[in-house]
Structure 1
Amino acid sequence: MNQHQSDEANRIRVLIIEDDLRIAEVNRRFVEKISGYEVVGIAADKEEAKDQLELLQPELVLLDVYFPDMNGLEFLSYIKEHHPGSDVIMLTAAKEVDAVVDAIRYGVFDFITKPLIFSRLQQTLRSYQDFRKKIHVLKKEGESINQEEIDQLVHGSGVKSSKESRPVKGIDRITLEKITSYLMQTEEATTDQVSKETGISRSTARRYLEYLVTMGEANADLSYGVVGRPERVYRRGSKAKG
């Protein structure tokens, strides 16, 4: 097996269950920006979700809570009963305590609220990759497992509330999401362009853009125009030039 075939075999296949196809497409793009993941299907209702789960047998499911024809938490229970090999991350606008608690009790890997911040999803998907790698290593090493290894599996994955998952003080989630989405659409932008597009000041736009650079989600290069001083051009991390 060559390297390409090995990468294909190790890729984590994802099914998105979301009734709003526009949101589902944004989520697909977010997931596939992260190396090692592939979205193999999008289901918009209960029957589609059941069919694709049976057909595709994905390793990971991104599941919303609210659907016209079903309750996402009840469907989470269905997944755990009929497709125990598929892990679930909830991506939802639901923020009620009961919804979060029920999701955790059903064994959801993580629960992320909308509007979705790419850095938060990226953190969770990286954690999930680490979780699967640990399981693979443990199975290769033998059938027994010690307490330290159990602790790494239990506490090194799943729902988190660490400081890393929250933007720093002065960074608003909704504004950050607008700027992130704008960079995804344009591939590159200057501070002036972001300021005009989002309606915030140039200084605020620069602060958010530099925050994205610090988080590794964007890169900045100097652009030398015909006249005037050079200005910083920001690009999404995967689109950045060396």
Structure 2
Amino acid sequence: MIQVLIVEDDPMVADLNKRYVEQVEGFQLVDAASNVEEAYQYLDQFKIDLVLLDVYMPGKNGLQLLKELREKDEQVDVILITAASEKEQIQQSLRLGVVDYLIKPFEFERLKEALNKYKQHHFVLHEKRSVNQDELDQIFSKQDRQDSYQIQVPKGLTKTTLEHIIEVIRSKGDAAFSTDEIALDTDISRVSVRKYLKFLKEIDFLEETLIYGVGRPVYQYQVKEMHDIEFYH
């Protein structure tokens, strides 16, 4: 059984994540810690395989704990859980070796997918005496996909429309564009397009600039970084 520790300062969220973990076969919940100090107590007392780690907590945050675990060469894996989707935070956590990254709020199926993926890796790397190339290729191909951002589509937006707008944006390359241009190219109302562009700006996919000229000011957008995004409801 894979031993799991939850580190989460919100009691309601911790309780929900407990129930989630208990529903996935092959995992045994050790307990939940509400801060980094409590997490160390459990890590000292028990053989923990996997930590479900929240980022924002009073005192030391989850990223600080993750960094300390790596500096101490602790043999524990981490799935990072946070309400934030900042690019720098995601990049830092990936460099520190997280096995997955979940953005709140997430559905049970997304956590179940992360746990089952981890279980496959754990069996190959910890239970088998030898590993063949195909098994390693499966592990590393899945890890490579962590470089894409997995973000929940907010209420009021649809995944299909969002992906269509992104496809049109990508076709423009590095060129700047306006809301009106995207509305024209997608045949979607300007008001609706504005909502989607605002969301893409919030997740740091787009950069927004207000251009002053003749008439009313116009918002211009440009892709910040052409990374992959995976959306889910």
When normalised by structure 1's length, the TM-score is: 0.58
Match status 1:150 vs 2:136: yes
Counterpart secondary structure, 1:53: helix
Give the corresponding residue for 1:14: 4
Aligned partner letter, 1:128: Y
CA–CA separation in structure 2 for the residues paired with 1:53 and 1:158: 28
Superposed structure 1 runs of 4+ greater than 6 Å apart = 161-167
Residue 83 of structure 1 and its aligned partner are, at CA, apart by 5.4
Q: Relative to structure 1, is the Cα distance of residues 48 and 25 closer, same or farther in structure 2, using a 3 angstrom cutoff?
A: same
Q: Relative to structure 1, is the Cα distance of residues 165 and 92 closer, same or farther in structure 2, using a 3 angstrom cutoff?
A: closer
Give the corresponding residue for 1:69: 59
CA–CA separation in structure 2 for the residues paired with 1:134 and 1:26: 29
Structure 1: gaps spanning 5 or more residues = 1-10, 173-242
Match status 1:110 vs 2:96: no
Counterpart secondary structure, 2:64: helix
Deviations 1:148-179, CA, capped at 9 Å, x for gaps: 44322212347647899978x9579xxxxxxx
Higher strand content, 1 or 2: 2
Aligned partner letter, 2:51: V
Q: Check conservation: 1:109, 1:159, Cα contact below 8 A.
A: no
Give the corresponding residue for 2:109: 119
Equivalent residue in structure 1 for 2:69, among 79, 82, 105: 79
Counterpart secondary structure, 1:122: helix
CA–CA separation in structure 1 for the residues paired with 2:73 and 2:11: 24
* Number of corresponding residues: 157
Residue 134 of structure 1 and its aligned partner are, at CA, apart by 1.6
Counterpart secondary structure, 2:38: helix
CA–CA separation in structure 1 for the residues paired with 2:17 and 2:144: 19
Equivalent residue in structure 2 for 1:133, among 123, 129, 147: 123
C-alpha RMSD over aligned residues: 2.8
CA–CA separation in structure 2 for the residues paired with 1:165 and 1:32: 24
Structure 2: gaps spanning 5 or more residues = 161-233
Q: Greater RCO between the two (CA within 8 Å, min separation 6)?
A: 2
Percentage identity across aligned positions? 37
Give the corresponding residue for 1:101: 91
CA–CA separation in structure 1 for the residues paired with 2:48 and 2:148: 28
CA–CA separation in structure 1 for the residues paired with 2:35 and 2:150: 33
CA–CA separation in structure 1 for the residues paired with 2:149 and 2:55: 25
Q: Check conservation: 1:17, 1:63, Cα contact below 8 A.
A: yes
Aligned partner letter, 1:140: R
Q: Check conservation: 1:14, 1:58, Cα contact below 8 A.
A: yes
Match status 1:49 vs 2:39: yes
Counterpart secondary structure, 2:28: strand
Give the corresponding residue for 1:37: 27
When normalised by structure 2's length, the TM-score is: 0.60
CA–CA separation in structure 2 for the residues paired with 1:153 and 1:18: 28
Aligned partner letter, 1:61: V
Higher helix content, 1 or 2: 1
Residue 108 of structure 1 and its aligned partner are, at CA, apart by 0.3
